[in-house]
Amino acid sequence: MQAARSVSTSAGTGDYFRPRRLGHVNLVVSDVDRSMDFYLQVVGLEEAYRRPTVRAGFLSNNNTHHDIGMVESAGPLGMNRSPGLNHVAFELETEVDLVNGYQRAVADGVRFVRTADHDIAHAVYGKDPDGNQYEIYADVVRDWRRVRSGIVTKPKPNWTPGSTPPCAERNYDPAPVLRRVESAVFHPLRATHACLVVENYEDAFDHYTGVVGLVPLTGGRDSAYAILGGTLRERSLSLFRATRGRTPGLHHVGFAVADDADLDASIAKAHRQGCPPEIVVDHALRHVAMLRDPDGIRLQFFVERNQPETAWADCDPDMLLLLA
């Protein structure tokens, strides 16, 4: 993806997009049926809908239309890639913001991979300097379950930003009623963030702040890491420098849990059911349980300790990689 010619590299000063938060993470998996079962029974998300013709599945707890999406490696969207990250997705306020940002970016020389009409949302896709794909989208339907639930077979029409009148309404639900899968091992509130290890760290930092429009909350361009957020000031994307023993790519996907009692009960249940966490850390910043899905993708369940940003800045980067 070509860098924008006139993009400022100052943190969070991109002229294009202003994401609210991370909306979802989409994964490449080896077996969609197996992974959908795992994310229901262990992770604790409900099945929202499937697209069997492209071997794709989507899960949510009603926070949004999906917290986790997945495509099968052997399917047309998986393109025989190894299991791991397909893309991270950032939610905008309105489609007007999406169209205006896209048009300004393209005018400045930014190249996007593709655009898409998902019925419930319109989106543009790009790649960061490491080749990690991201989506920037805006919901265009408030009642997403009316349009996308169960089995979806409707083909997607061609769409480019501005080809249809953009919607000025905020179609995300500001106060969703969350659903809880009581039978599951874990009970996440929602998927909150992704953590990436990147080879081209400075360029990636510049891209996510200057083009995508995220703002650094902790760390920065010249440090070992950066934790970036949107306008809600949530920790939505963590970037860590690749080092020896720290392989570039998706490190983990983070899910917020309500409280310590809930997380402790889930850890105990995971042990009883034979899927114990790989790592458990009870730290001043976060209480964390890390486990892997059937393809070895790391999932982080955490309880936030609500420490000031200075406490995050003082944390050792190796420990922060597990917490962020």
- pLDDT for the residue numbered 173: 93
Question: For domain 21-143, which CATH number applies: 3.40.50.360, 3.30.70.120, 3.90.1310.10, 3.10.180.10?
Answer: 3.10.180.10
Compute the residue count for the chain: 324
- pLDDT for the residue numbered 14: 61
- pLDDT for the residue numbered 100: 96
- Tokens for 125, please give them: 């896709």
Domain ranges of the chain: 21-143, 188-323
Question: For domain 188-323, which CATH number applies: 1.10.150.120, 2.60.120.200, 3.40.50.460, 3.10.180.10?
Answer: 3.10.180.10
- pLDDT for the residue numbered 231: 96
| Radius of gyration of the chain, Cα coordinates, nearest whole angstrom | 19
Would you say the pTM of this structure is higher than 0.85?
Answer: yes
- The CA distances from residue 23 to 20, 157, 209, 307, in Å, are 9, 22, 17, 24
pLDDT tens, the chain, 324 aa long = 333 333 333 344 467 999 999 999 999 999 999 999 999 999 999 999 999 999 999 999 999 999 999 999 999 998 989 999 999 999 999 999 999 999 999 999 999 999 999 999 999 999 999 999 999 999 999 999 998 889 999 888 889 999 999 999 999 999 999 999 999 999 999 999 999 999 999 999 999 999 999 999 999 999 999 999 999 999 999 999 999 889 999 999 999 999 999 999 999 999 999 999 999 999 999 999 999 999 999 999 999 998 988 899 999 999 999 999
Phi-psi region of 165 (alpha: psi -120 to 50; beta: other; left: phi over 0): beta
Q: Is 100 exposed, middle or buried (0-12, 13-18, 19+ CB in 10 A)?
A: middle
CATH topology agreement for domains 21-143 and 188-323: yes
274/271 Cα distance (integer angstroms): 5
